[in-house]
Amino acid sequence: MEPLHEGKLKHLEELATGIRETIIETLLEAKSGHSAGPLGMADIFTALYFHILNHRPKKPDWSDRDRLILSNGHICPVRYVTMAYAGYFPIEELKTLRKINSRLQGHPHRGVLPGVETTSGPLGSGISQAIGVALTARLDNKKYFVYCVTSDGEHQEGNAWEAIMFAGKQKHKLNNLIVIVDRNNIQIDGFTEEIMPLEPFVEKYEAFNWHVMEVDGHNMTEFVDAVNEAKAIYEKPTVIIAHTIPGKGVSFMERDFAWHGKPPNKEEAEQALKELRTLGTRIKSEHE
């Protein structure tokens, strides 16, 4: 995978802003869902679907595709919107988010929407699922990579650490597994370090024999460089701890855990869209 050149970076940054706008519009239409996490992870998902992943939206079951496992399924609006932009399904279908008989449920459901590899909902289980897929690749002599997006809050679950310990076992050498942690420091009840502290986070992963990197989750160049480094590690799995701002791009949502699990109303959505469109204009002018 090539590093990001200036032209591609500009395109991705503008795309991420558009994705944030559509997330707000989609949540407003649904009148339910999570706001903070999806907005915070828009840059990561844009980089994944439009630069990093080896995938074919028109052939979602292509056997050599990279696999993306979403462990913290409640941030699925960002995945749905990004997938729609990438061509997995019509953008108009986003209006059905969380509605009866919709393919776009409040947590992704395998077998309903092409391109969704696993069903997620119970927090802490995604890394275990990703390990199973990574081991399958080994058994099938496949070269694809397995990416697992997970939240910091679900690292309070014991089964997450069982999986981390298993993946780091020297015998397995799961160098085809790349875990991406959304380190936004919030969960539904408050700040992670007040509810159940995770620090020292890096040292914990290192103790279980993982290659660990930390990046600014809103700097796509840093993130792409980290993924390239992860692909060069041969003896162990990699975790990329991406420091993000929950509610990124919307001033009254940023760093406020109250927006973890609620959508904007009409007035709030209008203000959010106004701010995001201003941000989009600024991004364009910076690259001119």
pLDDT at 131: 97
> pLDDT band at residue 280, thresholds of 50, 70 and 90?
confident
Whether the pLDDT of residue 287 is over 70: the answer is no
Cβ-Cβ contacts under 8 Å for 4 (sequence gap 6 or more): 12, 51, 220, 221, 224
Q: Residues 269, 36, 204, CA angle at the centre, nearest 5°?
A: 175
Token representation of residue 42: 């828009």
- Quick check: 246 and 256 in contact, CB under 8 A? yes
pTM for this model (two decimals): 0.96
Question: Could you read off the pLDDT of 176-229 as tens digits, one per residue?
Answer: 999 999 999 999 999 999 999 999 999 999 999 999 999 999 999 999 999 999
CA–CA gap between residue 250 and residue 23 (Å, rounded): 12
Question: What are the φ/ψ torsions at residue 220 (nearest 5 degrees)?
Answer: -65, -30
Whether the pLDDT of residue 30 is over 90: the answer is yes
CATH number of 6-287: 3.40.50.970, 3.40.50.920, 3.40.50.2000, 3.90.1150.10? 3.40.50.970
Question: Could you read off the pLDDT of 248-264 as tens digits, one per residue?
Answer: 999 999 999 999 999 99
pLDDT at 285: 73
pLDDT at 155: 97
- Quick check: 251 and 74 in contact, CB under 8 A? no
Domain residue spans of the chain: 6-287
E strands, the chain, are 67-70, 146-151, 177-183, 186-187, 190-191, 211-216, 238-243
Instruction: Looking at 150-265, list the stretches that DSSP marks H as alpha helix, in order from N- to C-terminal side.
Output: 158-167, 192-195, 201-207, 220-231
DSSP secondary structure code for residue 4 in this structure: P
The CA–CA distances, whole Å, from 214 to 30, 63, 171, 179, 238 equal 34, 31, 25, 12, 11
> pLDDT band at residue 281, thresholds of 50, 70 and 90?
confident
Q: Letter for the amino acid at 36?
A: A
pLDDT at 122: 85
Please classify residue 173 by burial: count the beta carbons closer than 10 Å to its beta carbon, then call 0-12 exposed, 13-18 middle and 19+ buried. middle
Q: What is the number of alpha carbons within 13 Å of residue 101 lying toward its C-beta?
A: 0
